[in-house]
A and B are shown apart, each in its own frame.
Chain A
Amino acid sequence: MKKANIQILDGNHAAAQGAKLSRVQVIAAYPITPQSPVTEKLSELVEGGNLDAEYIAVESEHSALAVCTSASIVGARTFTATSSHGLAYMHEMLHWVAGTRLPVVLVCVNRAIGAPWNVQNDQQDSISQRDTGWIQIYARNNQEIVDSVIQAYKIAEAVYVPVMVCYDGYILSHTEMPVDVPAQVDVDRFLPPYKPHTILDPSHPRNYNLVTLANPRVNAEGVLCHGYMELRYLLQEALQNSKETIMKVGREFGELFGRSYARMFWEDRLDDADIVIVATGSLAMEAMVAADMLRKEGHKAGVLGLRVFRPFPKSELVRALRKSRLIVVFDKNISYGSEGATCSEIKSALYGSSINAAIRNFIVGLGGRDVKARELAEAVNKSLLSLKEGILNKEYPEWICYI
């Protein structure tokens, strides 16, 4: 068992420690509330000689990820951080990084997207990027932030898929908590050096991301090369297979550091629960308090704290929810015109399974609106009442707000 090194850190500093311990070599970032302290801390560490990395101050988030792309292609371990509009500004490059299969790690400090302008927390920013081909991991607290950033490099570099580690703005980013900071010597043992699949080598000149046509084509060496669709198939295949790597890396982390992450989601009292609350990020902690309240009222409530959103753990979820008769999904996001993204994913996972639970979706906490455990418990009670009507699925979510 390792000797604990407890520091009082806010989420941003925890993320910065994660990047530092992972010995990142190139950091390119642009400030945005509430991410700025991550990169300020990292630039301090570089300036002070405590991190041997190139810190590149770029003029936009689009450029930040473009710089990370080039640096990663030539073999550097790269890091960037952003939120909200910054992530939106990088959108095009998110596709590019995933399509080039570069193991870039990005932390997204979850913040609402305008309009209207809002600097506080919700998860719309990262959820909006769920189709780009990045692995997406959410942290429930600051310990999980530092641990997930370190694991992100091991996962990304094993499967050649970029990883986004997300955590709630202000609620985690600016809130101090005790964090057991791993020792550098242990992280060095855990994280092997980056072996790029792309490298610019004058003796073997190569061209990356050339125009790739619809159909396969024979290349200069006479090999039938993938067309666009085959390369994209490989990305999906990599994401599907990455579940195994994510859990394996999580298990290895547990063996070395004493905190296991061998899971796609956190299970709280699911063994005997027939009411399951699903929440992502810090909300999953609040949900456990709500479950306590419900248990006192005599309900068998449990919490499924979603950790990995992409790849979405469909089969694992079906197993975990097999005893449920009511699933209440709280989303700090919404896919406008439809419903919360997590709720849609869960319904998709359960289709065709033998699980006959009713599902209710609640949109909460947008724009930093405070979410109290009592409100979560009340939403569950409200859902229980409506269960008597025998409605398994509602077309649109309910909102916990003042409308």
Chain B
Amino acid sequence: MGTRDCKHICGESSPSIGEAGKTGEWRSSRPVIDQKKCLPARQNKPACFQCWLYCPEAVVSKTIPVRINLEYCKGCGICVQVCPAQAVTMVNEGEF
């Protein structure tokens, strides 16, 4: 089946969730948050949120507790690097 119905003459797309597919499938390890160490969870008020700020895929929610969208998280581990409370660890996908 051909692609003639696609009227594009150059590479183009419109922004949308999951335009590049389910990038969560690319992961080999996933971030796990220890809510006893996570600062907003401990204080029960908005604080820190560095993981939300630095996530390159915007899959971290700025909520209490902080949640990570595993459909799209690619497992890059930046959240682990930036967390000042060392609340996040990367766990091998094989364990889930």
Contact = CB atoms under 8 A, between A and B. Distances in A.
Interface of A: 99-101, 160, 197-198, 204-212, 216-217, 219-221, 223-227, 230-231, 234, 238
B15 interface: yes
B10 A207 contact: no
Contacts of B3: 216, 224-227, 230
Contacts of A219: 13-14, 19
Nearest to B17: A220
A339 to B, nearest CB: 34
B14 A204 contact: yes
19 contacts: A101-B9, A197-B9, A197-B10, A205-B15, A206-B12, A206-B15, A207-B12, A208-B12, A211-B11, A216-B3, A219-B19, A221-B14, A225-B3, A226-B3, A226-B6, A226-B8, A227-B3, A230-B3, A231-B9
B95 interface: no
B21 to A, nearest CB: 8
A403 B13 CA distance: 57
B16 interface: yes
Nearest to A100: B10
Interface in B1-41: 1, 3, 5-6, 8-16, 18-19, 21
B25 to A, nearest CB: 15
Contacts of B21: 217
Given A223-B5, A224-B3, A231 B10 contact: yes
Contacts of A224: 1, 3, 5-6
Given A224-B5, A227-B3, A101 B10 contact: yes
Given A216-B3, A224-B3, A226-B3, A231 B14 contact: no
Contacts of B13: 206-207, 210, 219-220, 225
Given A216-B3, A224-B3, A227-B3, A160 B9 contact: yes
A223 B6 contact: yes
A301 to B, nearest CB: 44
Contact of B19 (A101, A209, A212, A220): A220
6 interchain residue pairs of minimum CB distance: A220-B16, A212-B11, A100-B10, A225-B6, A101-B9, A226-B3
B19 to A, nearest CB: 5
Contacts of A217: 21
Given A227-B3, A230-B3, A220 B14 contact: yes
Given A205-B14, A207-B14, A221-B14, A231 B1 contact: no
Contact of A198 (B12, B15, B18): B12
B85 to A, nearest CB: 35
A225 B2 CA distance: 9
A220 B13 CA distance: 8
B6 to A, nearest CB: 5
A231 B11 contact: yes
Contacts of A223: 5-6
Given A225-B3, A231-B9, 6 more contacts: A205-B14, A209-B12, A210-B13, A216-B6, A226-B6, A231-B10
Nearest to B19: A220
Contacts of B12: 198, 206-210
Nearest to B11: A212
A217 B11 CA distance: 12
B6 A207 contact: no
B12 to A, nearest CB: 5
A205 B15 CA distance: 7
B1 to A, nearest CB: 7
Contacts of B16: 220
A212 to B, nearest CB: 4
Contacts of B19: 219-220
A78 B60 CA distance: 42
